[in-house]
Structures are given as structure tokens and as C-alpha cells.
Structure 1
Amino acid sequence: MSAPPPVDLEALNAVFSEKCTKSSNVCFNNSRIYEAGFQAKKEKNEDKTVFFESKLGLMAALFDGHHSEELSEYASQTLPALLCTRIETTLAEKGCSLGDAVTESFIKGIEIMIVRCYQTDWSDPKWHDQDEVWLILGWLREHPKFQRARYAVAGTTVLIAFVDNAKENIWVASLGDSDAWRKSLDGSTWDVTRLSDFHNGNNPKEVERLEREHPGEPPVIRYGRVLSDLAVTRALGNHQLKTPLPFARYILGAIWPTPFIPEFFNEEVVKLGHTNPPYISATPTVCHHSLKPGDILVLSSDGLAYELRNCLEEDKLLAVVSLAAATSMTSLPPRSTLWSVKLGHGFIASTEGDNPAERLIKNVCFGTNLEQMADAVKPSKQWDDISALVLFL
């Protein structure tokens, strides 16, 4: 049996570079912010990262799209600026604390993107005629109403962090299952903290919430997913799981390509007794934490956490921030040996001028293992997009 051909590292690096976007900036009183996104086995990367500076602080955001990149792209271009403006307006009009202004603006500013159905009788049989729907909404993406409807049909998670100018406080709003972490020096040791909540079918609190909101119905979470389909329990978009059933079935169902065809509502929703939407929430949870000089912040999409699925939860947390912050292999904690065993590869050392967010993705996905790298850049199976944002305060 002949030996497999040698792996060409230069060629693999070239392919990875084609599929990875990255950037670095110095901003916000000499803070350094790094972004990286790895497009897996999809036509387009559905993850988007962005940062936005305002006169009150810095906002960093990560959007992990599903059912297309349309909403994550749109939200990344519009939502951070809108929220920063809303924070400033709330602070000026109400004279409240910055924390209250940020929390209120996060919740109301994100919720306001919900589609409003007004008082239209969506059960009118005329809406069963897709030609009638298309006459109103259009049928090409060049039509503004059709594109707005696409934002309602597609979905995205939201993870937004706001750091005040003094770099003493951070507020993190979350819809979905992306992660925010902090590494902070406490004396001579590093303290690692999760900064965000997560909302999916594996969170018992979210399962309990949906049961409370839908008494008398069968379990909303089946096979770990909302109505056996969507992994996250909170998101922007996905209005077919939020709006009245006739609207979801006949109006949004005509906005092709739609993730939920009419048969889904017949077989998976109405037939099983799920007739009281919404089943997905657009209300974020907001967490506040204190910061210290020199803190390191990491925002990452759930694709990164999935690659760490064989590690203990405490190891996932420590691995993400340590691999992002490491300046040398000796600066990694002793437990990194265990991570290497679990992941099946060694870790790439930092080099002067490299991008910590990109290095984090590489070290979680394949590190120094060229066979794993080949499988990542030319996958034979489905891979999720992976994005990370690393901020050195």
C-alpha cells in the first residue's frame, strides 16, 4: 500500500487565506481590535463582525447568520450605529445612568426590528394566492419590499458588547448562542469569565421559558431544536416562527428561498398543536461586568465552540481566551496539554504582527496538524463558519 502524498503547507495556507477574512485596528484610546472570519463549506460566509466607535464608548458586534447571509450582513451594517445613537439619545432625554441607557437601548433597539403585521386579516383566502402576494411584495431582490421581506425570512444571532470610555464597564447583549469571554489579571493569576448568556435548545432556562410561554402545548423544543428545526431560541429575523400562522405560511412562505415551506406548518406546527406564536424571541439578555486595565475580550461564533465540543466547559472557556491571548507557547496554562490531546493537534506559536483572532481559529480547528488543516480548508463534510473578534484593552 503506497504512502499518502505529502501535504503541501504552502498550498494549504493559500487556500486558507482565500477563505479567511481578517483585519486589525488601533482604536479607542490605543486599544487593539482584531477580527477574523473563516468561511467553511458554504457559498458565502454567514458570520459578520464589526466594531463601531461613539463618543460614549466602543461597540463590538458579531452576527452569525442562518438561512443566508442577508440579515447578518444588513444587521452588521446598521444595528451598531443605531444602538449607539439610541444610547446617546436615551442618556440625554432621561438623564439616567449610562448603564441604564445601554441596557434599555439594547433591548428596545433590537426588539424594534421585529416585523409589524398591523391589523391586516392574514387569514383572507386571497393571501393563499402567491401571485397576489408577489404583486404587493415583488418577486425580485431588486424590489425594496422583497428585500425587506428577505430580512424577515432569514435569521441571525446577535452578540454586541459596549465598553465605556473609561474601560471600566462592559455590557453584553445576546440573542442566540455566540460567546463573549474576558481574561483579566487577578494578582499573579489570570481570571477567565463568561460575559454573555446563550440561548438554544441545550439551555434548560430557555426550555423552561418556552414551556411557560406555551402552556398546554407539546414541548416546543424537540431534538434540541425549536419545533425540531432551529437550534437557537432567540434571534433576529426568523419571523415565520414569530408571526401569526397565516402570515408566516402564506406571506413569508412566498419569499423564496424560504426555510419553512407551507408543509412545515401543516405537519410540524399545526398538526402537533403549536398554534400560538412566537416560538422565537427577539428580546436579548443583557449582562454587565466590570473591567480592569489590560483585560482581553473575545467574541466568537458557535462554530468555534463546536470545534471544542470534546473539551469540558471550563476548558472551552480557558482555551478560547488563552489561545487568543498567548504571546508564546510557554504562556499557555498547563492544561493546554490536555486541550492538545482532545483536539488532536499542537498549537501554532504567535509571531510578531500576526492576527490573534485568526490564530485562535487556526489553533482551535487544526493547529500544527496538516491533515486536519487540509480537511478544514477543503472539507469533505459540513463545517460551520467560524468568526472571532479579539480586543486588547
Structure 2
Amino acid sequence: MQLGSFVTSERRLADGIKIFQSVLPTKDEDRLVVLEFEHGTMIGVFDGHYSDELAEFASERLPRLIAEKFDPTAPDVDQVITQIFEDFDRSLILKVTELFEPGEDWTGEHWTDPGNIFEVVGYSKKDPKFAGARLAVVGTTVLLGIIDKSKKQVWVVSLGDSDAVCGRMQDGKLTPILMNDRHNCTDAKEVEKFLADHPGEQGLIKWNRVLGLLAITRALGDHQFKVQSRPLASRIMMYLYPSPAIPFDEWDKNGNTTPPYLSSSPAIRRFDLLPGDMFVFASDGLRDSMNQVPETERWDILMALVNGESRERQLGYGRVHASPEDNPAELLIRNMLFGDDSDKMAKELADSDRDDISVVVVDLGWTL
């Protein structure tokens, strides 16, 4: 993908659902998934960090694992999905530990020599062992929407801080309904739980980040924050380069010795659908692009733009009017970022510091 260039597509599914996708990449760490399966349709947004590797790997495998076990009539469907997430995450650290002897002691002098570590894990991503082990040191958030075949219900599965919003027609306008929990350091409930899990420790939240490094409190991967063995994290995993720089000495001084500091357990919500409902699934880059707008107004503005309304007063510029050939997901990104302001468009498209923005607009194909 190329900086400043939209990657846009659309699909029309057998049950009448229309899927519109658009990505505006910078780091190219987001991945989008649309999966038709026995019990319905699954939409996935995977937002990687430190690289695209785990977002790519998880997006190819996790939705299919869930599709194989998903039964909308089962009373334990939430527990089944949660177990799949947790098992998948455990499988990532096994890609590291299974390279060593069972019960390996990483505190030994032998493992202070990087050459001994490379002999086991490999020297670069060209080595399948090294490439597999790297999936444990990078990370990704996950957002899944599972629409049942009858289009009567949707399950929203969230791990991290992407966004799922239902647009419901009320009094002639699309009203936003936020459908997922947000797991990051700006969410008061997440922070309260996180602090309670590690009483007496210092530096747990710095700069609105877990241990000063990650804005999210839940993710797949990032096992330096999760493994019980500090030598495994500080000696072995740091050589699966390029890996994030972890200040282990500072963690020790602050008493940060009670991992895990990230969770791999998703939050799951189920909603009944009404005729006319539509969805927007988006990585957090879309939400962050609205920082000039109070959070209480952001989703109203988003749904107004989806519904073809102008919001020049809040955004400071006019919207681009839709034509029949426009992709609604791309048009939504354009109108959120710059609308009809050509100077702002040039600035935004050239911004290499902006987060990736990925959007899926779902038209359920209702016949009203």
C-alpha cells in the first residue's frame, strides 16, 4: 500500500448484505476481513502494532477458528469465543518456548550470549522459526462483528480499541449506537480494573499507556507484557528483532513483576437488529481523526455524514457529496479528514505520522 492512497473495495454477499471497505494506510498495519460461513457473516478489523505481522497472521486464522465453533443457539457461545481467543494467544508464545528444551532455565549464563539464542531461534525472518517466534513479540487488536444468517442478531467481539457503531434510523436520521467496549488507558473502567490487578505497583499507567508503552489494555501477542518468566522476556524475546524496547530495569524498580499486564480475553456483546440498521466498523485511526471534535459529538457526526448530511459547523469544512459510483467507506474517511477542503486534503494525505485508518460500512440489504 502507498502512503496517501486509498485502497477501496466492495462485496455483495449472497444474503443481500453489501460490504464497503476502505483503508488509508501509513504504516500499513491494519487488516480487514469479510468471511461468509455456515451461520452468517463475519467482519473483522485487525489493528497491528510494532509491525503488521500478527495482524496479518491473526486475520487469516482467527475468524476461521471462530467460524468452525460458532453456534448462535448455544448457551455458551460467549465462553467458546473467549476460549478460542485465549488459546490462540497462548499458541503464539508456544512458537517461542517450543524452540527450546522443555523446562528450559533461561536464567543460566548460557543465555547471556546472543549467539546461543540465535542458534535456537534463527537469525532473521527468512527463517520460519524466527518468523513464527516474532508473532509473540508484536501485537494486534481485534474487532469482530458476527451477523447471523437471519440478520436478526449481531455479536460484537472486541479486544483493544477499534470501534463498532450501529446506525439506527430514528425520526428520519441515523442515530449511533456504540456496540463495543474500548480497552485502552482512557477508559476509566479498564484502568480501574488494571490498577486493582496490580496493587502497590508504580508506573502502571504513564502517558496514558500501560507501563508507558501501549495505549491498549488488551491485545493478542505482546508477550513481553504477559509471560511469567522475566528472563524469557528480557533475554530471549528481545533478540526477535526488531522488537519493542522494554525498560525491564525500570519495571523492576517500580515493582512491575506481576504479569500479565495485558489481557487476551475479549468483551462480547449481542444486539438484536431492526430493519434499516447499518454498521460502521473502524480501526481507532478513524476515531483519532476526529480529535478536534468533542467525543460526545463524534459518532453523531459520523452517522450524519453516512446519511449524507453536512456538518460544516463542527468540522470546519463542507462534505464531499456522494455520487453513485462512490464507495461509502472511502467517502466517510474523506469527509472525516478533509471534506471539500483541498488544502487540508493535501496536508492529510501527506501526513506520515497519522495512524492507519480502516473502515467497513455494512449495508444489511433490508427491503423496507
**Both proteins in one fold, TM over 0.5:** yes
**Structure 1, residues 161-193: CA drift from partner, whole Å, max 9, x if none?**
101011111111111110000011246554320
For 1:99 and 1:185, locate their aligned partners in 2 and report how far apart those are by CA, in whole Å.
Answer: 30
Query: Residue 42 of structure 2 aligns with which residue?
Result: 59
Change (3 A) 1:57 1:258: same
For 1:99 and 1:314, locate their aligned partners in 2 and report how far apart those are by CA, in whole Å.
Answer: 35
Change (3 A) 1:129 1:297: same
| 1:216 counterpart SS class | coil
For 1:19 and 1:259, locate their aligned partners in 2 and report how far apart those are by CA, in whole Å.
Answer: 28
Match status 1:250 vs 2:235:
yes
The normalised TM-score by structure 2 is 0.91
Question: Of the candidates 73, 91, 95, which is equivalent to residue 97 of structure 1?
Answer: 73
Pairing of 1:99-248 with structure 2 (within 5 A): 100-101=76-77, 103-113=78-88, 114=90, 115-116=93-94, 117=97, 119-186=103-170, 188-243=172-227, 244-248=229-233
**Structure 1, residues 267-300: CA drift from partner, whole Å, max 9, x if none?**
3x11221011111111111111111122110001
Question: Of the candidates 15, 20, 23, which is equivalent to residue 37 of structure 1?
Answer: 23
Q: Work out the number of aligned pairs and report it.
A: 353
For 2:323 and 2:76, locate their aligned partners in 1 and report how far apart those are by CA, in whole Å.
Answer: 41
Query: Residue 307 of structure 1 aligns with which residue?
Result: 289
For 1:169 and 1:100, locate their aligned partners in 2 and report how far apart those are by CA, in whole Å.
Answer: 16
**Structure 1, residues 197-241: CA drift from partner, whole Å, max 9, x if none?**
001111111111111211221241122100011111111111111
For 2:133 and 2:84, locate their aligned partners in 1 and report how far apart those are by CA, in whole Å.
Answer: 19
Q: Give runs of ≥4 in structure 1 deviating > 6 Å.
A: none
Query: Residue 70 of structure 1 aligns with which residue?
Result: 53
- Contact kept? 1:31, 1:392, Cα under 8 Å: yes
| 2:76 counterpart SS class | helix
**CA shift for structure 1 position 314:** 3.0
For 1:86 and 1:144, locate their aligned partners in 2 and report how far apart those are by CA, in whole Å.
Answer: 29
**CA shift for structure 1 position 98:** 4.0
For 2:197 and 2:103, locate their aligned partners in 1 and report how far apart those are by CA, in whole Å.
Answer: 23
- Contact kept? 2:175, 2:300, Cα under 8 Å: no
For 1:344 and 1:246, locate their aligned partners in 2 and report how far apart those are by CA, in whole Å.
Answer: 52
Question: Of the candidates 355, 360, 363, which is equivalent to residue 389 of structure 1?
Answer: 360
- Contact kept? 1:240, 1:260, Cα under 8 Å: no
Amino acid at match of 1:107: T
- Contact kept? 1:28, 1:58, Cα under 8 Å: no
Q: Structure 1 vs Structure 2: percent identity of aligned residues?
A: 36
Query: Residue 277 of structure 1 aligns with which residue?
Result: 259
Deviates more, 1:306-315 or 1:149-158: 306-315
Pairing of 1:10-25 with structure 2 (within 5 A): 19-25=5-11
Query: Residue 64 of structure 2 aligns with which residue?
Result: 81
Query: Residue 10 of structure 1 aligns with which residue?
Result: none
**Structure 1, residues 304-361: CA drift from partner, whole Å, max 9, x if none?**
11111122223211222332x32x4xxx2xxx53xx2343221111110211111111
For 2:171 and 2:345, locate their aligned partners in 1 and report how far apart those are by CA, in whole Å.
Answer: 38
Amino acid at match of 1:364: M
CA RMSD of aligned residues (A): 1.9
Change (3 A) 1:112 1:282: same
- Contact kept? 2:8, 2:22, Cα under 8 Å: yes
| 2:132 counterpart SS class | helix
Query: Residue 278 of structure 2 aligns with which residue?
Result: 296
**Structure 1, residues 345-380: CA drift from partner, whole Å, max 9, x if none?**
21111110211111111111111111111011222x
- Contact kept? 2:9, 2:21, Cα under 8 Å: yes
For 1:200 and 1:309, locate their aligned partners in 2 and report how far apart those are by CA, in whole Å.
Answer: 16
For 2:43 and 2:24, locate their aligned partners in 1 and report how far apart those are by CA, in whole Å.
Answer: 18
For 1:169 and 1:119, locate their aligned partners in 2 and report how far apart those are by CA, in whole Å.
Answer: 46
Change (3 A) 1:187 1:378: closer
Gaps of 5+ in 2: none
Query: Residue 266 of structure 1 aligns with which residue?
Result: 249
For 2:6 and 2:152, locate their aligned partners in 1 and report how far apart those are by CA, in whole Å.
Answer: 32
For 1:119 and 1:182, locate their aligned partners in 2 and report how far apart those are by CA, in whole Å.
Answer: 48
Amino acid at match of 2:128: P
| 1:279 counterpart SS class | coil
For 2:53 and 2:167, locate their aligned partners in 1 and report how far apart those are by CA, in whole Å.
Answer: 33
Query: Residue 6 of structure 1 aligns with which residue?
Result: none
For 2:174 and 2:218, locate their aligned partners in 1 and report how far apart those are by CA, in whole Å.
Answer: 32
